Amino acid sequence: MTDVLVIGAGAAGCMAAIKAAEAGASVILIEKNTRIGRKIMLTGKGRCNMTNAKPWSQFAAHLHSKPAFFKSAFYNFSNSATVDFFRSIGVETVVTRDDRVFPQTMSSATVVDALADRLAHLGVKTFFGCTVGEVARTPDGCFTTAFIENNHNFFHPKMVASKTVIVATGGLSYPTTGSDGAGYAIARSFGHTLQPTFPSLTALTPAGYDMRLQGATLINVAASLFVGQDMVQYEFGELQFTDGGIEGPIGFKLSRKAVWAMINGDKVSVAIDLKPAVPVDALADRIAKEAGQEKVTDANFSRCYGRFLRRFMPQAIVEPFYAGCRPSLSGLASALKSWRFQIAGYVGYKRAVVTAGGVSLDEIVSKTMSSRNVPGLYFAGEVLDMDGDTGGYNLQFAFSTGVLAAESAAKYAAEH
């Protein structure tokens, strides 16, 4: 009988399997893909923003649902422990803007290969191409896990017995990487409550989205999120227009609250301030002065706006901006300070960086990652009701909860 069975070879599952084996447990790792870390390969645009170097107090501010739940796991295996661990397996790191930590190679493959080597070195038994269906508890308090092995499209049902199980199956985002919510069904089968899931860090699609905006990047702009008439969030930085809509760092930051509001039937809009450093009156004065020099007036603005607007925005957005707001010259300052988009929808799980919601934290012991319902059952990573902003927070959550679940499971297995 195996001590620890880990389901899912993503960031949380790989780390869990490694740490359980390092703690002396016998370990089986089951993964439905043909290799580990398919999602890790995509992270940080292929560069893997593996953690963030901020101290706990600042780190916690980038987590959603209940940051305090994560404190024990973070202190047990912190961001600096992540850096030390990866150095110990041959991955040197660098810290970039906003305390983001990347492998020195700036390649996710370095991280995935190092994890794969470590798993092999420790003798972790891996089953690839195997999809777990059901986990059951036996009368003697152990577990049987049923899975289907896909061997060149020949499907074989299999079963393994273990003293403990760590569910590290991820959420629902980017299902092409393997995470399709299977862990939620396992959690439910053991009586766990699920907090409603929704895509976060995803593009917000404006109503009547002008596709000419696609590909434009705005730097040093601000965006405000409105739910109904109330402004609920303000962000400053970089915004991108993609095929899905408003994206990039600012769009992602706004998306969590925006998506949740839309799910609840609220009307959502985003107002972009193209000149956040200049108060509206000062901007109006500047516009009046430059319009005077250029002989631009309210009367001729509809004919010569193209040349004039280029002074205030990148060429790529001039036409969509004018078509969207139809500003008069005298109303231009207000339009530049508040370019309003009604949001009609969002791109969703297929391209959301993370899943918000998941297995309720109230039923998980934060000091061990064990289920309060079932002794020997553990959860780690995105399957839990916790999500972070962009910047390395999600991978650190996966790594730290994976380590804590592994150490706790190995201890439990040794005692039982």
Residues that bind ligand FAD (CB under 6 A): 7-13, 30-33, 38-40, 42-44, 49, 131-132, 168-170, 173-174, 177-179, 182, 353-354, 381-382, 392-395, 398
Where residue 218 falls (left for φ over 0; alpha for ψ -120 to 50; beta otherwise) is beta
CA 334 to each of CA 222, 272, 273: distance values in angstroms, whole numbers, following the listed order:
14, 11, 9
How near is the Cβ of 11 to ligand FAD at its closest, in Å? 4
Residue nearer to ligand FAD on the CB measure, 182 or 332: 182
For residue 358, the SS3 value is strand
How near is the Cβ of 140 to ligand FAD at its closest, in Å? 24
How near is the Cβ of 43 to ligand FAD at its closest, in Å? 3
| Cα gap 272→83, rounded to integer Å | 37
CB 40 within 8 A of CB 110: no
How near is the Cβ of 71 to ligand FAD at its closest, in Å? 18
For residue 171, the SS3 value is coil
Instruction: Write the DSSP string, 309-355.
Output: HTTTS-HHHHHHHHHHH---STTHHHHHH-EEEEEEEE--GGG-SEE
Residue nearer to ligand FAD on the CB measure, 7 or 291: 7
Here the tokens at position 396 are: 């650190």
Residue nearer to ligand FAD on the CB measure, 147 or 241: 147
Q: Residue with structure tokens 């500003």? A: 327
Identify the helix (H) or strand (E) that includes residue 2. strand 2-7
Query: Which distant-in-sequence residues (6+ apart) come within 8 Å of 376 by Cβ?
Result: 137, 141, 142, 143, 163, 164, 165, 370, 409, 412, 413, 416
Here the tokens at position 373 are: 């319902």
Tell me the β-bridge partners of 107: none
Residue nearer to ligand FAD on the CB measure, 213 or 354: 354
Here the tokens at position 258 are: 């925006």
Identify the helix (H) or strand (E) that includes residue 210. none
How near is the Cβ of 12 to ligand FAD at its closest, in Å? 3
Q: What are phi and psi of 179, to 5 degrees?
A: -85, 110
How near is the Cβ of 397 to ligand FAD at its closest, in Å? 7
Q: How many CB atoms lie within 10 A of CB 219?
A: 10
Residue nearer to ligand FAD on the CB measure, 42 or 365: 42
CB 144 within 8 A of CB 320: no
Residue nearer to ligand FAD on the CB measure, 36 or 291: 36
Q: How many residues does the chain have?
A: 416
How near is the Cβ of 369 to ligand FAD at its closest, in Å? 12
CA-CA-CA-CA torsion sign (11, 109, 219, 323)? negative
Here the tokens at position 122 are: 């420790």
For residue 302, the SS3 value is helix
Residue nearer to ligand FAD on the CB measure, 26 or 131: 131
The Cα angle at residue 236 between residues 216 and 279, in degrees rounded to 5: 100
How near is the Cβ of 244 to ligand FAD at its closest, in Å? 13
Here the tokens at position 275 are: 């000149």
Residue nearer to ligand FAD on the CB measure, 13 or 327: 13
Residue nearer to ligand FAD on the CB measure, 103 or 170: 170
How near is the Cβ of 73 to ligand FAD at its closest, in Å? 13
- Round to the nearest angstrom and report the end-to-end CA distance of the chain: 12
Residue nearer to ligand FAD on the CB measure, 38 or 192: 38
How near is the Cβ of 59 to ligand FAD at its closest, in Å? 11
Residue nearer to ligand FAD on the CB measure, 134 or 294: 134
How near is the Cβ of 365 to ligand FAD at its closest, in Å? 18
| Cα gap 160→277, rounded to integer Å | 61
